[in-house]
Chain A
């Protein structure tokens, strides 16, 4: 492979060869699986060739690899450098500005071209993404340039909390006064979904991020919480607020029961056993029809009340009649939003407090070095078990909320893929970082959910394109990509839980999870 500093002509030969090899491998990978599609016919399966698709896939691999080879990997001046610089404090050189300007120009031209001539949503989508990316980078650079020493982490956190608290009320009032036609219902549902995953992420973060125990069966506790509430509510008519602590306690109990035998296992063995437990819980829920109603699930789960006032369209003693408001189904949804927001905050506060207590410090010490912990007299079993139980409790609380929001639950909702999504949120957010987990939940869940409704993609891939199908594929690619690109997650460093003299962020290199 060519060394940096060689001329473009010298690099072209090896780059072409390398890209050709990549293209051949891509052809071997995709020739059968992508180039031929099995179609159901009356006579059985028949094959339908798709040469164009295959050619496009191989072409993308070839061109992408060639461009990367020439301009990024072995180039003296990688073209990606100026974009990376937007997110650091390094000073710009002239060629950085030229590259950024050129990108902006191309995006603007694309946008105008689409606006005036062909009216293609795809072009606009690409241009808009470039604008947003460059815009965020530039705004960040300008702020850092003028106010270099502000506590950005704190501002970001406070701003985020303020936004989360004020968003539904403000949006609701604006909508009611000005009739803006916001898709309020959709936005609230999406936010509730994202917040549920934020809470689950924070709950799992206690286990994975703080105690360093890789739990692949977290969804089991989510399921225990959901089913505890659903069964208590449908069989005994108990309300959400009574069942919430019961569900949390039940999940914590299950955490202890499942955790006790397995916690002396090594990191990756523990991961597989928790996965097995998660699957066992799901299979039992699926087959124990007398209690759980099997695959048909439990329906008719009640909604939470506002201090005993239900959200109902008519009748005495409802929320709207008590406060003399006009009934609106959105009120119930906004209330649900605040419930999950409060639950998520509680999770976060408890975690932050626990991190300062001896038990929290023991968790982090355990993650760093288990043998050292044992030598210092920390009871590793009890320490691991508390982490497991507390994480499970938050999972149970979130599950109980999930049940009340959906009104219907079935084992379908608690598959391994849910565990993988929650784990991905924790890991990609940066293990142990609360802010990172929240950002990752917003990006991974909110972003992919928004993908469902993007029209631009339809115009690229044709009318029949259903982004939902590609959601999990992209999710997996993002999981691998971010992990390879930034093994420490989006927020790689975090402030230490306790400090001696001054607070210094902990570099990613110091944190070594699961070494024991």
Chain B
């Protein structure tokens, strides 16, 4: 029981990170109907930016951890958002009227570019960071096994909850959210009613990248090591989460993220850790084949 509870806590923390990345996929898919394959690498870039900012702050003598965390969080969000914007501007916008697979191919190209750019600019070795957020609580002990809830796990879940609420409000209450939902339903009609479609799409990418940066920072704090390759696998799992929850749906992405995180954690805990990615990938195939609309998604009608 204690072991199960511990894995549940670990799975929820991991799932929150996947959920944050999944929101980027789901928003972009909802609005322009493309899989932003480079989004996982935007997450990786965000993690690298966060790490460099941390090191820079440390060398500048900022030792107050909450302050440093806040600065890193905000700056990383802004700088990663610039990356997201640039990727959309360079690789997707020129192809918006092209055939459907064209932006997917540039997205794969962009993913290769981002990975190799980071590898060239920062080296291929893994980058460690000493634990920043330490400590935690022991919930209870059962025999020798103690169930721990660490501060970093609390931080991850709280940050995710806060950001989810903020984003939910943005999408449902603001003008930007309204134009976003309008573009999602009918881009041409939205443009005719005075919505600036290009700007709305750009902002979608900016928001998705900002959330990916948060996920990158949390990943960095949680695991303590990053390399230029983390974006690929995390990206696929987050995409699975987005599809699972129903692509285009914000709460769905979060729910999907949690489920994928739990599946992965329990699989590693009770079966084999080597095949944990196989579990996640098989999950993707099964979900797409049997529930293509996901848990909270709307069925898509195929039209001539």
User: Assuming A268-B101, A417-B112, is B275 touching A283 (CB within 8 A)?
Assistant: yes
User: Assuming A45-B55, A287-B275, is B117 touching A473 (CB within 8 A)?
Assistant: yes
Lowest 8 CB-CB distances: which A-B pairs, in order? Answer: A479-B109, A476-B112, A476-B113, A276-B281, A473-B116, A480-B109, A287-B274, A472-B116
Within 8 A of A (CB), among B102-139: 102, 104-106, 108-113, 115-123, 125, 127-130
Does A460 have its Cβ within 8 Å of any Cβ on chain B? no
Within 8 A of B (CB), among A1-48: 25, 28-29, 31-34, 36-38, 40, 44-47
Contact of B98 with A487 in the complex, beta carbons under 8 Å: yes
Q: Which one, B56, B59, B106, contacts A483 given CB within 8 A?
A: B106
Residues of A within 8 A of B82 (CB): 25, 28-29
Does B94 have its Cβ within 8 Å of any Cβ on chain A? yes
Does A79 have its Cβ within 8 Å of any Cβ on chain B? no
Does B161 have its Cβ within 8 Å of any Cβ on chain A? no
A47 to B115, CA, bound (A): 20
Does B1 have its Cβ within 8 Å of any Cβ on chain A? no
Residues of B within 8 A of A33 (CB): 45, 48-49, 52, 117-118, 121-122
How many residues on B have C-beta within 8 angstroms of the other chain's C-beta atoms? Answer: 65
User: Assuming A277-B285, A473-B117, A477-B113, is B130 touching A44 (CB within 8 A)?
Assistant: yes
Does B185 have its Cβ within 8 Å of any Cβ on chain A? no
Nearest-CB distance from B134 to chain A (Å)? Answer: 16
Nearest-CB distance from A436 to chain B (Å)? Answer: 15
A416 to B277, CA, bound (A): 14
For A415, give the chain B residue with the smallest CB separation.
Answer: B232
Does B304 have its Cβ within 8 Å of any Cβ on chain A? yes
17 A-B pairs (CB sep. < 8 Å): A29-B86, A33-B117, A36-B55, A40-B125, A214-B101, A273-B284, A273-B289, A277-B285, A279-B236, A280-B281, A424-B109, A473-B112, A476-B112, A476-B113, A476-B116, A479-B105, A513-B99
Contact of A423 with B49 in the complex, beta carbons under 8 Å: no
Does A272 have its Cβ within 8 Å of any Cβ on chain B? yes
How many residues on A have C-beta within 8 angstroms of the other chain's C-beta atoms? Answer: 65
Does B83 have its Cβ within 8 Å of any Cβ on chain A? yes
Contact of A473 with B285 in the complex, beta carbons under 8 Å: no
Does B199 have its Cβ within 8 Å of any Cβ on chain A? no
A31 to B75, CA, bound (A): 12
Residues of B within 8 A of A266 (CB): 292
Does B68 have its Cβ within 8 Å of any Cβ on chain A? no
Contact of A262 with B116 in the complex, beta carbons under 8 Å: no
**A-B contacts at CB below 8 angstroms, number:** 184
Contact of A484 with B288 in the complex, beta carbons under 8 Å: no
User: Assuming A262-B288, A280-B278, is B53 touching A32 (CB within 8 A)?
Assistant: yes
Does A470 have its Cβ within 8 Å of any Cβ on chain B? yes
Residues of B within 8 A of A487 (CB): 95, 98-99, 102
Does B195 have its Cβ within 8 Å of any Cβ on chain A? no
Nearest-CB distance from A122 to chain B (Å)? Answer: 20
Contact of A265 with B292 in the complex, beta carbons under 8 Å: yes
Residues of A within 8 A of B105 (CB): 423-424, 427, 479, 483
Q: Which one, A423, A469, A513, contacts B100 given CB within 8 A?
A: A513
A38-B52, A480-B110 given; 15 more Cβ-contact pairs under 8 Å: A33-B118, A33-B121, A45-B55, A47-B59, A272-B239, A273-B285, A283-B275, A423-B108, A424-B108, A470-B116, A478-B109, A479-B108, A483-B106, A484-B91, A487-B102
Residues of B within 8 A of A29 (CB): 79, 82-83, 86
Contact of A265 with B120 in the complex, beta carbons under 8 Å: no
Does B186 have its Cβ within 8 Å of any Cβ on chain A? no
Judged by DSSP, the binding face of B is: helix
Judged by DSSP, the binding face of A is: helix
Does B35 have its Cβ within 8 Å of any Cβ on chain A? yes
A513 to B118, CA, bound (A): 33
Contact of B79 with A214 in the complex, beta carbons under 8 Å: no
A424 to B108, CA, bound (A): 9
Does A339 have its Cβ within 8 Å of any Cβ on chain B? no
A37 to B110, CA, bound (A): 22
A284 to B104, CA, bound (A): 27
Residues of B within 8 A of A45 (CB): 51, 55, 127-129
Contact of B281 with A38 in the complex, beta carbons under 8 Å: no
User: Assuming A29-B86, A45-B127, is B284 touching A513 (CB within 8 A)?
Assistant: no
Interface centre among A28, A262, A265, A476 (most CB of B within 10 A): A476
Nearest-CB distance from A302 to chain B (Å)? Answer: 31
Nearest-CB distance from B151 to chain A (Å)? Answer: 21
For A258, give the chain B residue with the smallest CB separation.
Answer: B285
Residues of A within 8 A of B170 (CB): none
Nearest-CB distance from A356 to chain B (Å)? Answer: 25
Does A514 have its Cβ within 8 Å of any Cβ on chain B? yes
Q: Which one, A36, A265, A420, contacts B108 given CB within 8 A?
A: A420
A58 to B236, CA, bound (A): 32
Residues of B within 8 A of A476 (CB): 109-113, 115-116
Does A371 have its Cβ within 8 Å of any Cβ on chain B? yes
Contact of B129 with A469 in the complex, beta carbons under 8 Å: no
Nearest-CB distance from A419 to chain B (Å)? Answer: 9
A286 to B272, CA, bound (A): 14
Does A267 have its Cβ within 8 Å of any Cβ on chain B? yes
Within 8 A of B (CB), among A254-307: 261-262, 264-269, 271-273, 275-277, 279-280, 283-284, 286-287
A273 to B280, CA, bound (A): 12
